[in-house]
Amino acid sequence: MSITPIITFKAGICEVDTSSRPYKVKASPRPGYIYLFTEDELLHFCWRERSVPLDQPELDLVMIPTDGQFVPYDANNQPHVSAKTNGRLFVLKFLSSSQRHLFWLQSKPQGRNGDPTWFSPRDRKIGDIVHRLLQGEEVDVAHELAAINNTDNDDRRGGDDDEPMEDVEGHGNPDEPHEGDGGAGPGATGGDVRQEGESAREGGADGARAAASGPPDAAAAVRNFLDSLRGNAGTSQGEGNFYPLLSDLLTPPITVPVAREATEEQIDELLSFLPPSILVFSQQVDQEEDTAEPTAAAVQAAKEAMSLGQKKALLEKVLRSPLFHQSLTSLSMAIRDGGLPSIADALSIKVENGGYIRGSQVPLGGGDAVEAFVEGVKKSVQKK
């Protein structure tokens, strides 16, 4: 796969310890790159170690326009003393999910006073470019990078101590392995990242933004199904306890390895849940799209024409797609809004008390409903 990054800059990934509160964040010392590229008109946000090929990122997120935000972590505006840093951190967060990814800049800090947390105009410009790309804006990255002028407390006398090359690129193919350490130090923060951005969405409270592209028949099927569920939902309970959305639990790092290791029988069963048009179109890439619903014979022929590798590749593409992410979020919101009894019944999943509040006919809502749904799925699988 040929990849041409839109922007590449040196950054490390952070590890978040959620075993205790407040959550603890530790910056991995591994030298790395953040880079963005487009494929099939979809924007990818990636992170990889510098010694790893460009097409093998450790983190590869397909971004829905306007859903992602890439913002600096400002320790001075945090309400708790523990939420302090000793490096320059950026947070990747989402409107459609409570998920967070943290990264630390590995180029040398540029403040004259040696403050490792000070964001230079250069740092902020890089973050601003990435944020605007995530919003779906067209950005002349090379022009904007060339216009960066660090002033006011800037100190570039030491150059880029990380490695002998520019720490940000607006084009090209930075595919060569490099060595070197980061500039902020591996212990970037011990703060509570969950305090970052009080206005940030938690637990799906703000809903999700729909993807602008995708198979229209599949999108319509999901939308009609969810609309029918909401019509029978009735009154729902309040938010209840915090519980992740299905899109938080079924992320590509979780689902893709399962698909890669599945047997052909398991893959065929998973493919049977896809809209028939996806299976047929995957074997007709050189033909004009037929808007008619594929016949059962056409679907079966498409399955038989695919090798096991092709089937897994198709399933992986679906699992990474914005439409799949959006569908999980929409399903989560339908469950949270009182649709648990109808959804569980439609999917033949037994949930506690039928999805209602104990002793009443009021459906569970909020995080309690999503948790009951997940527990019902687990018990159903264990029973089988």
Domain spans of the chain? Answer: 7-195, 216-383
Tell me the average pLDDT across 281-288.
Answer: 54
pLDDT digits 0-9 by tens, 62-112:
888 888 999 998 766 655 545 566 789 999 998 877 788 999 999 888 777
What is the length of the chain?
Answer: 384
Q: Which helix (H) or strand (E) covers residue 8, if one does?
A: strand 7-17
The type of residue at 380 is: S
The type of residue at 141 is: V
pLDDT of residue 295: 77
Q: How is residue 229 written in tokens?
A: 């569920």
Q: How is residue 29 written in tokens?
A: 């010392």
Q: Which long-range contacts (CB under 8 A, 24 or more apart) does 212-217 make?
A: 212/64, 212/65, 213/41, 213/42, 213/322, 214/321, 214/322, 214/323, 215/275, 215/277, 215/278, 215/281, 215/323, 217/275, 217/277, 217/293
pLDDT digits 0-9 by tens, 319-344:
888 778 878 888 888 898 888 988 88
pLDDT of residue 153: 53
Residue 289 pLDDT > 50, yes or no?
no
pLDDT digits 0-9 by tens, 350-361:
988 888 988 888
Q: How is residue 286 written in tokens?
A: 């050189």
pLDDT of residue 123: 92
C-alpha 302/C-alpha 138 separation (Å) is: 38
CB-based burial of residue 62 (10 Å sphere; 0-12 exposed, 13-18 middle, 19+ buried)? Answer: buried
C-alpha 274/C-alpha 292 separation (Å) is: 16
| Nearest to 30, CA basis, from 251, 192, 178, 193 | 178
Residue 10 pLDDT > 60, yes or no?
yes
Q: What is the average pLDDT score of the chain?
A: 73
pTM above 0.75, yes or no: no
CATH architecture type of domain 7-195: Roll (2.30)
Question: Can you tell me which residue has the tokens 């689902």?
Answer: 255
Provide the pLDDT confidence category of residue 314 given band limits of 50, 70 and 90: confident
Q: How is residue 18 written in tokens?
A: 């959620």
Provide the pLDDT confidence category of residue 148 given band limits of 50, 70 and 90: confident
Residue 275 pLDDT > 90, yes or no?
no
344 neighbors 354 (Cβ within 8 angstroms): yes
Beta partners for 60? 46
Tell me the average pLDDT across 183-194.
Answer: 37
Question: Can you tell me which residue has the tokens 């047929």?
Answer: 280
Backbone angles phi, psi at 347, to 5 degrees: -95, 5
pLDDT of residue 83: 55
Beta partners for 45? 36, 61
pLDDT digits 0-9 by tens, 12-48:
999 887 777 767 788 899 999 999 999 888 899 999 9
